[in-house]
Structure 1
């Protein structure tokens, strides 16, 4: 799959505080041992949802336990009090938020990583027990391109398109960028079962989470006409429905938790698109 990289955009989140990796060699310090590591996640957060789905697809419940956090952080700085001891043990006089997601080392009581892309790759490459090849070695560049498309062309563009403090021209340009991204992905999925071809990969996880967020968070700040245009990509939304029916996706989709988190964090104005739901997500989860 050929994906044209998008122009860089300013980051929306602070850089991850910890970027440790799990290696093959015991001399690396962090090496793959069953039940040595633990994930601390809230699936209401996009990064937490991505990691949870990857963890489920790989069947790692017995290898890397998960501690599920409340969808709404309980500290004023956006962190979780339960994670504070890990952060303080991992960095002397750490003063930032104790934010999720976290991959921790139960042997040392310290954090390995807070960087979701690294965590997902290490789970797939170091702990996979025969699940899908989520990060094919010959498709790494394409996977990274899809990650950028989802982050910039869907999530960031949708956020800009719904900003109440932006002028009409800025919102219109952002909406056209969003629609262009959706159109390119819809065309790709018209001829392929999955984003990168015939097999389920991490690119599908990235796209699914971006579409969940588009329909459950960003839609609330767009007008009804924009939402109808977004919905007009049948192959794309059919793909979202199909993935939602998969147990590894359905098990972690908590719409109430996403709504709770959004209400606490959002400072935008609700628009007419809030009433135009694109998918009835619960109809495909089997719950």
Structure 2
């Protein structure tokens, strides 16, 4: 069997390398989809970790791909986790940077397969029995990718710019317009459909739900109250978020205390009046999940 060496790719957003190994469809790929070989290491307080935790549950991989949960606040300088350091040191020669999460590791070799969350979720979609529901169904790739861009640029980045205390007021207003326009387009879609793509639950819904969690639990803390009320006025969008929070696989992964601790440990911005205007009762809706009693 030919093993493709792991490639550590530098990232402008991280000081640690991004490992981009992929899980193939057969043994020729080196990393192939076999039960009990791989392990996820993540914190659900981190957006990428929450996406992976939700996707992992929806795919029913608890038995075939175990998850190691990490603390919300990293315990090493530079944002790293001491529990991940042996994996990084085994995977990158003379590695001295932070051991960042999330990580998909190979228990057979004790090395990292990938630290790139979008690749990891797509590869996990290859696990499991044939015929089950897929998060990335054939023919919907472009729709899912469009939602991912909307979430990253139209919601996440726009909300950050709109809440920057050191930005020009006109810049903040423009960013808020982008955010509201994006939410409006999603509102119109969800006013007529239960899900974002082909009336079925897909990775697009995982992406949007986690982005809405971040918007309400993190980004609104830096917005003024009027802006938060305008955001909350998208009733179909937040009803959709509430429905998913009450579903098995979504709400049970919410660590609201961990999200708050992570935010306060990383954030350099100023709190604004919007911090007092909670849009959803996430804890209450998560408690409505049918499997809440197992948390």
- How would you bin the TM-score normalised by the shorter chain? over 0.9
Q: 2:30 maps to which residue?
A: 29
CA offsets per residue over residues 44-101 of structure 1, 9 Å max, x none? Answer: 0000000000000011010000000001011111110110110010011123221000
Q: 1:17 maps to which residue?
A: 18
TM-score computed with the length of structure 2 as normaliser:
0.91
Q: Residue 188 of structure 2: SS of its match in structure 1?
A: helix
Q: Is the Cα contact below 8 Å between 2:165 and 2:270 reproduced in 1? A: yes
Q: Residue 250 of structure 2: SS of its match in structure 1?
A: helix
Matches within 5 A, 1:106-121: 106-121=107-122
Runs of 4+ in structure 1 over 6 Å off: none
TM-score computed with the length of structure 1 as normaliser:
0.94
Cα separation, partners in 2 of 1:182 and 1:223, compared to 1, 3 Å: same
Q: 2:140 maps to which residue?
A: 139
Q: Is the Cα contact below 8 Å between 2:39 and 2:104 reproduced in 1? A: yes
Q: 1:5 maps to which residue?
A: none
Structure number with higher relative contact order (C-alpha < 8 Å, ≥ 6 residues apart): 1
Q: Residue 151 of structure 2: SS of its match in structure 1?
A: helix
Q: Is the Cα contact below 8 Å between 2:40 and 2:103 reproduced in 1? A: yes
Q: 1:3 maps to which residue?
A: none
Cα separation, partners in 2 of 1:16 and 1:139, compared to 1, 3 Å: farther
- 2 CA distance for matches of 1:98 and 1:247? 31
Q: Is the Cα contact below 8 Å between 1:16 and 1:115 reproduced in 2? A: no
Q: Is the Cα contact below 8 Å between 2:196 and 2:204 reproduced in 1? A: yes
Q: 2:83 maps to which residue?
A: 82
Q: 1:95 maps to which residue?
A: 96
CA offsets per residue over residues 228-266 of structure 1, 9 Å max, x none? Answer: 000011110010000000010011011011001111011
Q: 2:168 maps to which residue?
A: 167
- 1 CA distance for matches of 2:129 and 2:72? 27
- Unpaired segments ≥5 residues, structure 2: 1-11
| 1:245 maps to 2:246 | yes
CA offsets per residue over residues 197-249 of structure 1, 9 Å max, x none? Answer: 31000000000000000000001000000000000111100100000000100
Q: Is the Cα contact below 8 Å between 1:51 and 1:120 reproduced in 2? A: yes
Q: What is the alpha-carbon root mean square deviation over aligned residues?
A: 1.5
- 1 CA distance for matches of 2:13 and 2:181? 21
Shift of residue 16, structure 1, vs aligned partner: 5.5
| 1:68 maps to 2:89 | no
Cα separation, partners in 2 of 1:268 and 1:72, compared to 1, 3 Å: same
- Unpaired segments ≥5 residues, structure 1: 1-10
